[in-house]
Amino acid sequence: MPIASLTKVMTAMVILDANLALDEPINFNKDDKERIYNGYSRIRMGSTLSRGEALHIALMSSENLATAALARQFPGGYDAFIKAMNAKAKSLDMTDTVFVDSSGLNPDNVSTAADITKMIKAAYDYPKIRQYSTTPVHTAYFKKPRYKLGYTNTNALVRGQKWDVALSKTGYLDIAGHCLAMITEVDGKQLLIVTLDAYGKLTPVGDAGRIKKWLQSGHSGKVSESAMHYQKQKLSTLTN
């Protein structure tokens, strides 16, 4: 399945594995803009931000331009970065996973729930990924020129701080649906949840709640008719 911005967890691991200085400034240019298909970003062309801050807003708020800039300014350049992503996936035995870009905007970034589980387990060993991905709100301070931008976490469970979430990443593309991967705590035990291709924007959060309820009580609660219809359509497509 296409995995959308769940890709950014692999991007973060590759950056951190390279031991690059997180306080080093990186810049944003037209090449980065083209690599996110000229998609919208509030970041101004030509401005700079530290590598660590770029990684922070990429993980917590899914800033696509940040991932493109991080990959471009990797030793060997963008192509070397994508090669490193796939090498990392192979090292984690993610046998059904392919990466072609650093943001997840390309639907050819594909994986399975089982492989994403391997990726999230590995990412949990990175304190920066745990910290950055679970920040509810954050302000990034750019230079050349000086300005600041406020960011919020894309996971409502993290924003509301209602759950004890240790690692989080969301994703969305039309073709990928709404995706969620996170590590949380249920009744004193850590739980890793991966959902791919959910129906609506809040469906992954609702599904996480239903999974939690099912584990605690044996009952998951109701699922909307529209979501059930969407599932049947998708299953029909996959089986055909």
CA 100 to chain centre: 15
How many residues are given for the chain? Answer: 240
HSE of 112, CA atoms in CB hemisphere, 13 A: 7
Show binding-site residues for substrate. 169
Binding-site residues: 169
DSSP 192: E
- Residue 231 CB burial class (10 angstroms; 0-12, 13-18, ≥19): middle
Closest residue by Cα to residue 119 from 10, 39, 5: 10
- Dihedral pair phi/psi, residue 164, rounded to 5°: -90, 90
Per-residue tokens: 93:
């035995």
Please state whether the peptide bond connecting residue 145 to the residue before it is cis, i.e. omega within 30 degrees of 0.
yes
Cite the active site residues: 5, 8, 62
| Coil, helix or strand at residue 236 | helix
> Are 217 and 197 spatial neighbours (Cβ–Cβ below 8 Å)?
no
